[in-house]
Structure 1
Amino acid sequence: MVPRHRHPYVPGGGRRGAVAQIRLAPGERLAFGRVPTGDHERGLTLRHEGIQHTAGWITAHRAYWTLTNLSPCQTYVVENPEGAGEHIKVGPGRREAPIPFEFGRVVLPAGQELIDFDVWATCHEYLGGRGHREGQDHAPALPAFPLDRSRRYFLVLASLCEPRLREAPFARLPSTRQIIERLRPAWPAVSKSAVQWSVDYLAEKLALTPARHSGKRESLVSLALRFDLVQEEDLVLLNP
């Protein structure tokens, strides 16, 4: 991962050749396309006949960036490479669609190919310390989805989530045998019944609705990744 920067920047030219980083201060706009034209003649060139001359604009703001789609017929997609399949669709003609990702990948259809480039935004800011405590006018709410990372059921959940955290958002979930093999170094006594008990316990603890129990493992992983109940740094627990 490239280190975060104070201002948003775009690697010039994406994956198709250019190397410089194009930095944008809040309020600045960058055009992208085959022969882009924009403010102060700054542009990101995407050399492909399937890309229109000026395909869109990226505009930097203080804590986020926006994407304008100048195509009359193509939908653009902004993916979050750090998320579990998280993405935003920006339809034809959409102006100033806000993109909340700190690291986003803009994907444009071009003929039979997909052309993409990456955008790094400013680090998100969070409440904390004294100011955060002052904002709490009432007693804190009960924690949602309380999970104990020291318990063995969490190891099972982490092993279920591992392929999608490490590989791809839609990677196949591991089988019970694969979970046992993965957990044996950290949990020598792990068994098929222990794994199944953990899955059933997690489904009850996280209050999965009965209608979703047929795809219990898929539902557990989807919920865990959607709400960051398991993150990449939790995978160190799988190693003894």
Structure 2
Amino acid sequence: MYSIIVVPPRTTDDEHGAHQIKLAPGERLAFGRSESDNGLAIAHEGVSRKAGEITAQGAFWILSNLSAHQTYVVENPEGAGEHIKVGPGRLDAPIPFEFSRIVLPAAGDLLPLEVWAPRHDYLNSSGGLDGATTAPAFSVDHTKRYFAVLAALCEPRLRGAPHAPLPTVDQVVERLRPGWPAASPAAVHWNIDYLAVKLRLKPGPDTADPGPRLNGKKESLVSLALRFDLVREDDLVVLGNSPSRAAR
């Protein structure tokens, strides 16, 4: 059964959209300008004759960059700017994204080559070990106001602008006010401070160590939240709802 789907760049000849190439585990797909040397020919003078190779590996895939000079970027379209660089000559770079876009720099153009990895393998936990369950790394409650504040901070980057500046506290207040009429800069600041402690960016009040001064607190919170998927695009619905309880 195939596990990887490759969607070539769209061309003017694609009347019904780009075709798909399906790879089973262990199968390889070479791509480049040369039709005779590659399973996927990309007709662009800026693409190397043998540009690269994709290999299916079960639930993920690996990329070899056969170009002598060009760095390829593999983007995660759902990852708020998350990407991997694969340098010239790099072989068998593992790509962990479920949806990926290889960006090929080609004589002034950027050609997208999409790769999907829809297969998901999961551990059968029905026969798990006895004993206490593992404590979650980060515990957040989507019904609390602190989560709405965090969602408002993450919103611009989750909306498809991965390098957007973070909203100011006043902008967060305005974003939250329809669902939280009493929102104020002081309340937002309090929740940001609470999040910094809750997500362990700062020591809690029960310790005598104040910890280092945390500059860029909002940036640190958003970076952590997006990196570990504490806030996803689907979670932005909380910005239209009134939180039911106070932060704690």
TM-score (norm 2): 0.84
Which one of 192, 207, 210 corresponds to residue 199 of structure 1? Answer: 192
Q: Judging changes above 3 Å, is the alpha-carbon distance between structure 1 residues 37 and 187 closer, same or farther for their aligned structure 2 residues? A: farther
* Equivalent position SS for 1:213: coil
Equivalent residue letter for 1:114: L
Which one of 82, 87, 91 corresponds to residue 86 of structure 1? Answer: 82
> Which residue of structure 1 lines up, in the alignment, with residue 24 of structure 2?
25
Matches of residues 42-191 of structure 1 in structure 2 within 5 Å? Answer: 42-43=39-40, 45-127=41-123, 131-191=124-184
Query: % of aligned pairs identical?
Result: 59
Conserved? CA contact 1:37–1:54, under 8 Å: no
- For structure 1, the residue ranges without an aligned partner over 5 or more in a row are none
CA distance in structure 2 between the partners assigned to 1:211 and 1:111 by the alignment: 47
CA distance in structure 2 between the partners assigned to 1:51 and 1:165 by the alignment: 32
Deviation at 1:34, TM superposition (A): 1.6
Deviation at 1:235, TM superposition (A): 0.8
* Equivalent position SS for 2:21: strand
Q: Judging changes above 3 Å, is the alpha-carbon distance between structure 1 residues 160 and 53 closer, same or farther for their aligned structure 2 residues? A: same
> Which residue of structure 2 lines up, in the alignment, with residue 230 of structure 1?
231
Equivalent residue letter for 1:46: I
Q: Mean alpha-carbon deviation: is it higher for 74-83 or for 202-211?
A: 202-211
CA distance in structure 2 between the partners assigned to 1:225 and 1:79 by the alignment: 15
Indicate yes or no: 2:207 matched with 1:214.
Answer: no
Conserved? CA contact 2:80–2:160, under 8 Å: no
Deviation at 1:147, TM superposition (A): 1.3
Write the deviation string for residues 181-232 of structure 1: whole angstroms up to 9, x where unpaired.
2111111111111111111111111121554621000000000111111111
Deviation at 1:138, TM superposition (A): 4.2
> Which residue of structure 2 lines up, in the alignment, with residue 35 of structure 1?
34
Considering only aligned residues, what root-mean-square deviation do their CA atoms show, in Å? 2.0
TM-score (norm 1): 0.87
* Equivalent position SS for 1:119: strand
Give the number of aligned pairs. 229
CA distance in structure 2 between the partners assigned to 1:137 and 1:76 by the alignment: 46
CA distance in structure 2 between the partners assigned to 1:61 and 1:115 by the alignment: 24
Write the deviation string for residues 130-184 of structure 1: whole angstroms up to 9, x where unpaired.
x314233542222222212111111000110111111222111111222112111
- For structure 2, the residue ranges without an aligned partner over 5 or more in a row are 203-210, 242-248
Write the deviation string for residues 85-141 of structure 1: whole angstroms up to 9, x where unpaired.
2222212222222211111110122233322211111332223xxx31423354222
* Structure with the higher fraction of residues in helix conformation: 1
CA distance in structure 2 between the partners assigned to 1:119 and 1:212 by the alignment: 42
Q: Judging changes above 3 Å, is the alpha-carbon distance between structure 1 residues 208 and 135 closer, same or farther for their aligned structure 2 residues? A: same
* Equivalent position SS for 1:179: helix
CA distance in structure 2 between the partners assigned to 1:137 and 1:24 by the alignment: 40
* Equivalent position SS for 2:111: strand
